[in-house]
Amino acid sequence: MCRLFIVEDEEIIREGIQKNIDWELNDVKIVGTAANGKECLEKIETCMPEVILSDIKMPFVDGMELIQHIYELYPKIKVVLLTAFDEFEYAKKALNYKVSQYVMKYEENEKILEAVLRAGNEYTASLNQAERVKQSEILLENKILRDLLFYDEKSEEIYQNLLNSNIKFLYDNFFVTCISNRNLTQSKHIRSIAEGYNFFEREIRILGLEIDFYFCKTEQKLFIISNLPKEADDSFDKFIKILENLLKQKEKEWQCNLKASVGSIYNGLEGISKSYDEANYIMSLYQMNQYFDRDKRTVIVSSNDSVSGSANKKTVEQIVEYIKKHYWEKDIGLDSISKDVHLTPAYISAMFKKEKGINISDYIIKIRIERAKYLLMTTDMKTYEISEEIGYVNSQYFSVLFKRNAGVSPTEYRQRVSGK
């Protein structure tokens, strides 16, 4: 229904326009009237018409001033001018403000109705066009974001498209999240972008995280390209928690089990494709393992607590086993462990701490110190030899770590356990 506002200083004409035309029959609703432009401007914000039917010559604020204000403040509203014969040349000035229709003040009612209906159709068409433009921009943005998932330094066209778009990355570090469910319908998939964006925006604002993000979709997967100022386990952990909450919320709403995988944090635009490759690889491992090897699932985040919980415990057990076999290697750490379990360093760090109550680096030290104690009790190896045996090149550093964990130096420990 078209929303019409009538502005006319002559009361008899104003009331005649209201009563002598069957507006309701023609799907038009009169939402307000005013005797001059000033009164119209005071009322317009509360009733928000789509079309204004206005006289030109009026006291206080006349029709010309009114349409100038309308053009500047409410550019979507269409204006139909009522003119007298001697005002037509005057009305031509209104062309500068894109007046929709002109109609003679004493014209037949049908002519006035036709002018208002044409203006109403123009209003609807402009909204449809704006919506089409918006949809076109969304599709273009989605294409650019998808292209960035495959970005390399030679992709000059992708870089130029990014510069010319509304996509503005605030920071230099990126990581990619992949969300997948084969049973997610197209309508839910599309809706998930808007809902997911609003959910993340609200939660990130509440937590005060410095993370910017963009959503893009393919046929079966939804991707989040996240952008942050520096690598920070704390921000990453909180992001994972937000992701878990989102999946749980959508699982209940859509009656499906969503999965998500997260790539590592990388610097520069080319890092987007690297993180994407990791996230996609992890997701593909999970999907394959459903059929071939359930014991080595690498689910990162699941909307199902029992699935993600059991998968996390199995992964932590795998990490513990790896550390026990490789604790003596000098380069053992998050990077080498993450390659073995096919998960991101930041994620396994958070997962291990959650399951074991200790950081991975501290756990490696713990295993090494336990091995050092065993060697001090059962062998005559010198301190520097034990240090090298368990992975420390610097024996002084080893002694400091040993005393920090055991409360005494390696020499004092050997004396105590030997009874000397």
The CATH number that applies at residue 64 is: 3.40.50.2300
- Across 163-205, where does the E strand assignment appear? 173-180
Assign residue 255 a region (left: φ > 0; alpha: ψ between -120 and 50; beta: otherwise).
left
Q: Mean pLDDT over all residues of the chain?
A: 78
CATH of the domain at 400: 1.10.10.60
The answer on 159 and 124 residing in a single domain is: no
Cβ proximity of 83 and 104 under 8 Å? yes
Say if residue 242's pLDDT is above 50.
yes
Overall number of domains in the chain:
3
Residue 216 covered by a domain? yes
Encoded tokens for 203: 């939660």
Digit-coded pLDDT (tens) for 106-115? 778 888 999 9
Please report the sign of the dihedral spanned by the C-alpha atoms of residue 196, residue 198, residue 201, residue 206: negative
Encoded tokens for 165: 């778009």
- Report strand pairing: 173-180 vs 266-267: antiparallel
pLDDT band at 98 (very low <50, low <70, confident <90, very high): low
* Residue at which a domain ends, from 266, 289, 322: 322
Digit-coded pLDDT (tens) for 35-48? 888 888 888 877 88
The parent domain of residue 313 ranges over 149-322
The answer on 121 and 26 residing in a single domain is: yes
Instruction: Output the DSSP codes for 206-235.
Output: HHT---EEEEEE-SSEEEEEEEESS--HHH
The answer on 170 and 113 residing in a single domain is: no
Encoded tokens for 11: 């009361």
Digit-coded pLDDT (tens) for 36-80? 888 888 888 778 889 999 887 777 666 677 877 887 778 888 888
* Residue at which a domain ends, from 322, 355, 383: 322
Q: Which of 296-300, 327-331, 394-398 has the lowest mean pLDDT?
A: 296-300
The answer on 261 and 117 residing in a single domain is: no
Residue 105 covered by a domain? yes
The answer on 294 and 158 residing in a single domain is: yes
Percent over 70 (pLDDT), the chain: 75
Q: How many CA atoms lie within 13 A of 217 on its CB side?
A: 19
Digit-coded pLDDT (tens) for 340-381? 887 767 678 877 888 899 999 999 999 999 999 999 999 999
The answer on 169 and 285 residing in a single domain is: yes
Say if residue 190's pLDDT is above 60.
no
The answer on 186 and 107 residing in a single domain is: no
Residue 327 covered by a domain? no
The answer on 401 and 312 residing in a single domain is: no
Q: Encode 319-353 in three state secondary structure.
A: HHHHHHHHCCCCCCCHHHHHHHHCCCHHHHHHHHH
Q: Which amino acid is at 71?
A: Y
* Residue at which a domain ends, from 96, 128, 160: 128
Q: Which amino acid is at 90?
A: Y
Instruction: Output the DSSP codes for 248-296.
Output: HHHHHHHT---EEEEPPPEESTHHHHHHHHHHHHHHHHHHHHTTS-GGG
Encoded tokens for 7: 């502005």
The answer on 248 and 386 residing in a single domain is: no
The answer on 156 and 34 residing in a single domain is: no
Q: How many CA atoms lie within 13 A of 9 on its CB side?
A: 13
Cβ proximity of 151 and 60 under 8 Å? no
The answer on 187 and 100 residing in a single domain is: no
Residue 339 covered by a domain? no
The answer on 155 and 97 residing in a single domain is: no
Cβ proximity of 101 and 53 under 8 Å? no
- Across 35-153, where does the E strand assignment appear? 51-55, 78-83, 101-104
